[in-house]
Amino acid sequence: MSCPNDLRIFQRLLRRTICLHRNFSAGASSSPGKSASLHNKDPLPVFLQERVQTILKQMTGFDMAKVFSFNLTLKGKKPTFALVTDEQLEEMHLKAIRKAVYKLQMPPVMKADEPVEQVYGQDPEIANLLDFKFVFTDISIGLKDRDRHVTVRDTDGSLRPATSDEKQRACQMYSTNEVRKVIMPKMFEPDHLENILHEKNYIYLLERACIQFEPDSPDFIRVCNRVYNHVAETQTFNALRSTRFFGPMTFYFAWNNRIESLLTDMIQNDLLEDAIDLIELYQIIHPSVNMLESINMVTMEIDNVEQSEEAMKQLKKNKLMNGYCIKRETDENTISEKLKILMDFCKHHASKEHAAELELSIQTYEDRLQSHQITQQNA
């Protein structure tokens, strides 16, 4: 076949590609189709609920030293020293709070992107004409990679949308992101991933995964879930506190009915407010667990006490913190009610595998509380 004929065939196929792609995009946007039926199985709508976000932020914590302790991109940045007034120092502190809140933005929890089985067209006359694929990438300026259209012409003549992996690699060819690799790094392969997990480099793995993958990438979800499971297996939940991954990890456990280990850790670390928030989150995700009314009553009492005693200066900082909280003190007047809520969850909703450990942690907390009260009375 001569070169002019090859060029005419390519031009004809390119015109057909553009036409079919436009028709398919228009049709897909006008019909809900398959995605509507999967809406209830997608965690993102629940994750983005205002109350859910508030709960996750409150449980995350706000240890600024830990927030700024890890940086994946900057190396060897020297600290600077300056003489400032009290007003300037306060302004610098508020600026640091705003920056910390920005760094604590949680990556979304999404359903894995499903393989696209749609075929735009089939051209058997060019089947096996070439031994490589054609990839057509929209490189329009100002578009996010997720919004770009990428189409693939297979060697068998079929024209189809690119898979998520093909789309990411195609977009990366035109991207200025030097950290994201075109080919997935070896560290994310299961065997190598386990080696890094043994070293407990959780933050590095998760931050690197956020750069390498899209949040609905099956590989991103696989890596994150494996990290969260390893954290639970080793009982090192504190490693992710005051990081942007503690909220998604908590949501992951609540979504999958596995909050017992995290709940036990919160009770053992005297984080009773977080434990109640975790049960409320579990109730929101699983409405059949009828505990929300009692939780709301206890929470309302706490909110009233805090609002009446809060100073204006601290209120300004709390507003800047955008819902993130330093360790919250438990109101002694509501401790007994909260322990009843925890024990009720343990008896009626906890899995048999972890119920005994959870009940023991609650009883230990009660004993420690009683000992403290006796000590205060004798003082």
pLDDT at 34: 34
Q: How large is the average pLDDT for residues 184-188?
A: 93
Whether 257 is covered by a domain: the verdict is yes
- Virtual CA dihedral for 276, 282, 287, 289, nearest 10 degrees? -70
pLDDT of 149 > 50? The answer is yes
Q: Which of 42-51, 123-132, 140-149 has the highest mean pLDDT?
A: 42-51
Residue 187: pLDDT band by 50, 70, 90 thresholds?
very high
Helix (H, G, I), strand (E, B) or coil at 136: strand
H or E element, residue 97: helix 86-103
Least confident of 28-32, 110-114, 243-247: 28-32
Whether 192 is covered by a domain: the verdict is no
Q: How large is the average pLDDT for residues 178-186?
A: 84
H or E element, residue 196: helix 190-198
Q: How large is the average pLDDT for residues 133-159?
A: 88
Whether 345 is covered by a domain: the verdict is yes
Contacts 24+ apart (CB under 8 A), 326-332: 326/61, 326/62, 326/63, 327/61, 327/271, 328/58, 328/273, 328/274, 330/270, 330/272, 330/273, 331/301, 331/302, 331/305
Report d(CA 36, CA 92) in Å as an integer. 47
| Position with higher pLDDT, 65 vs 77 | 65
Residue 23: pLDDT band by 50, 70, 90 thresholds?
very low
Whether 57 is covered by a domain: the verdict is yes
The mean predicted confidence, pLDDT, of the chain is 81
- Virtual CA dihedral for 145, 251, 268, 240, nearest 10 degrees? 0
Least confident of 31-35, 136-140, 341-345: 31-35
Residue type present at position 121: G
Report d(CA 57, CA 50) in Å as an integer. 11
Residue 294: pLDDT band by 50, 70, 90 thresholds?
low
Q: How large is the average pLDDT for residues 180-199?
A: 91
Over the Cα atoms of the chain, what is R_g? 26
Residue 128: pLDDT band by 50, 70, 90 thresholds?
confident
pLDDT of 10 > 60? The answer is no
Q: What proportion of the chain, given as a percentage, has pLDDT over 70?
A: 76
pLDDT at 108: 96
For the chain, the residue count is 379
pTM assigned to the model = 0.78
Whether 324 is covered by a domain: the verdict is yes
Residue 299: pLDDT band by 50, 70, 90 thresholds?
low
Residue 317: pLDDT band by 50, 70, 90 thresholds?
low
| Residue 291: domain span | 47-66+100-104+243-373
Least confident of 17-21, 158-162, 227-231, 242-246: 17-21
Q: Give the per-residue SS3 of 44-58.
A: HHHHCCHHHHHHHHH
Whether 270 is covered by a domain: the verdict is yes
Whether 218 is covered by a domain: the verdict is no
Residue type present at position 112: A
Report d(CA 322, CA 318) in Å as an integer. 7
Quick: pLDDT tens for 205-225. 999 999 999 899 999 999 999
Whether 109 is covered by a domain: the verdict is no
How many domains, the chain? 1
Quick: pLDDT tens for 324-339. 777 677 777 788 888 9
pLDDT at 22: 44
Quick: pLDDT tens for 340-357. 999 999 988 888 888 899
